[in-house]
Structure 1
Amino acid sequence: MRKTQSHNQHFLFLKDQVAAYQSQAKQGFKDKHPRATQWLEKRQLDVGKIRQQSQRLLTGATLSSLLLLAAPQAPSPLPQATEQRRLARVYLISAQDIKSRLAEALALLVPARVGHPDPDNEIQVSQVIEENLGIKVKFELEGQRLNHSLGYIGYEQHLARFPGDSVRLHDEWPEAEMAGGLGAWGYFANSAAELTPKLEAMEKYYAVVQTLYLPTWQKDLKSLRDWYKYRKVLVINVQTGAAVVAAIGDAGPANWTGKQFGGSPEVMHSLGLGSSHKGKVLLLFVDDPTDQVPLGPVKAPAQLGPPQEV
């Protein structure tokens, strides 16, 4: 009997210790992440029971995206995006969850056909992307609009970055080989010595868009060539939500190919299309006047640091 009482007392002591530790950890989270705590409390989610409530958390996050889509609205700041990236940084929402939710939201907004979403949906698409990825995008930027924002992307070869460049000098995917000709804007640098990291990234993550089919391409060739040269675009695999920021580096593909865009080997692998060599994507201009958004795969919100204000 005395032994049983001793065990009970020991159990109660350990229980009190665990409860005290949980309370301390919970308070520490609240002190370090007040805005995330407020976000959770508004949704009646207990920080101390977040694992048990993970499904509810994800459902709420998905519903918040769907509510955003309920009716057309003018562009506005999205403080929720800040909170979602903050939650991801403290491991309450995983990078894969962000991608999945983005793909689910886009499925409700983008059509099955090649072309553009309905005009009423374009604002919502841009908002959903900013909400989930923290990157501002536009279907039309500075009066420029591509003939397609939704279409099929194909696997392209490496472009020559400077005279004498060869596939063995490229970091990855040598099996892609070198393109037979130069990109639409020629070499990226006059020599290997002049190839800066920024120019190297432009070739590594280049996209191909059909500038040659723009209505005023021949008429306004000089100004349009300058405007589109290395212009940043965001490419999203609409099936998975995987995204990459690319620089426009070439013109094409031809209409007869059945594709509307092209991507470097690195772009295609970042989108999860390295094996299939083709897939359906959404491609939009990145609104980045101060050049703050880096080229390459869009990192998980947990890795982004402060939200990108561009």
Structure 2
Amino acid sequence: MRAVVQKAFGGPEVLEAVETDRPSPLGAEVLIRVHASGVNPVDTAVRSGALPLLGEPPFGVGWDVSGVVEEVGPGARFRPGDEVFGMPFFPRAATGYAEYVAAPSRQVARKPAGLDHVQAAALPLAGLTAWQGLVDAAGVEAGQRVLIHRAAGGVGHLAVQIAKARGAHVIALASEPKHAFVRSLGADEVLDYRTTDYTEAVHEVDVVFDSSSEGTRALEVLRPGGTLVSIMEHWNQDLAARIEAAGRRFAGVSVEPDYASLEAIAALVDSGRLRPHVAGTFPLEEAAKAHELVGSGRVQGKVVLTIA
């Protein structure tokens, strides 16, 4: 099979499409014939060595996949022909940029019926991050005020929709050129973080969903008892202590595979309340170009690799 690997840390040019052995499913695993694979900022950080999750190269790249079950191991919960999507093994290697991926069957879910594979591949890592932060960690409820950083990005644009689906009043931060896009997602208020100090414009927020390493500023907008959800500083014990000492709650979120959450996300999609935005696609062999685009920080929504 074809797969993208890297033999050294570095820029996008270190990504190589190579021929390698096709994996075989073990007990309770499925072999997925991958049709599309999502590209995330964490992928670029791992590739460069800035986030050495996988140790030293060589290793395969990517986690988000959508495809069709080709084979099943004993005890797997799917059958050949089932369409599935997921984020297997994160934060360990999954080699998601590949024609085939073997994964535990409880780390994937049925693909939303209303999405094609490209759209579905845009969902797992970003959608799970938003869901596990807003629903599992913060317990967002109807009527609450939720502030979302980077609301036009891969995680942010899904977080806006998930919070709205929960009945929240959503305040979104995004650059002015992206305001129309963010409003189309359902945001109630949109602020340009480059020209407006949101800590002066926003007050009495129940939940801050922070994907920008600005956790300390949450104290200026969170109401007493409110929750800071941090996906970039989930490891920061000093920040957690400051938030807790000020009478607020800190929830550090490091995304993990979870088929139940994937099923909940798929249900939102099929009910018309959630839709991923795909900003661009590239063939598997052009993974380096996809990384260049994602690394620019200017993407609205997600970038996806297509695998014929």
TM class by shorter chain equals: under 0.3
* More strand, by proportion: 2
Q: TM-score, normalised by structure 1?
A: 0.26
Task: Choose 1 or 2 for highest CA Rg.
Answer: 1
Q: TM-score, normalised by structure 2?
A: 0.26
